[in-house]
Amino acid sequence: MLVLPEAFLPGYTAVVRERPEAWDQVQADIASLCRRHRVALTIGLPEYVEGRLFNSAHAFAHDGTHLASYRKIQLFGPDEHALYTSGDAYVTFEFKGKRFGLLICYDAEFPEHVRHLAKLGAEVILVPTANMMPFANVNQILIPARAAENGVTIVYANYCGTSTGLEYVGRSAIHGPDGYPLGAKGTGEGLLIAELPDGWSEHGIPLSSQRDDLKHL
């Protein structure tokens, strides 16, 4: 499952309210790419629905099947609120014997959203993001904490570099259910690959303990 950043097409600062004429074809082309390369994909895209625009994440299987779409609930700042309509539903889906959940960027900073997906049974939460400076504390503190307190793996895929006045933090990471990184990048670009843990972490922590505690909360 390849995870790409928030609004990856056409780019976080390049989204416009007007619906592009070829937008339906874009999503068909993405499915075709998944089939051609046999790679599952979660990608941030704008979603145009009856005059409203949502900041969405879409998951596709390696055969091009559409697995799920999620609309960002926790919009960030005045620019996002002016451009997008807020989503109102959590999303999980099954893939390769695991239950996945979707969040987008600012969503994952709120304990309630990650906790809700964990209580719905999500074992892995995929988070396309566009986190910018000076909020590096999100990558270094909040996302590992969200993973550890809920016993879930979080895949946090961020931009790096600059765009239209924004300096992105980079620091994409895959945090296991104990909060420790299964893979992490610095401020530059790159690809992270990790296998999902099962049972006990490499640090000797039983990964089921946090999830069992969710039943009592």
Query: Residues with catalytic annotation?
Result: 6, 72, 105
From first CA to last CA, the distance across the chain in angstroms is 31
**Pair 127, 150: CB distance under 8 Å:** no
CB atoms within 10 A of CB 86: 13
Cα distances (angstroms) measured from residue 16 to each of 12, 104, 171, 176: 10, 18, 27, 35
Nearest to 106, CA basis, from 152, 135, 75, 80: 75
Asked if residue 78 has a cis previous peptide bond (ω within 30° of 0), the answer is: no
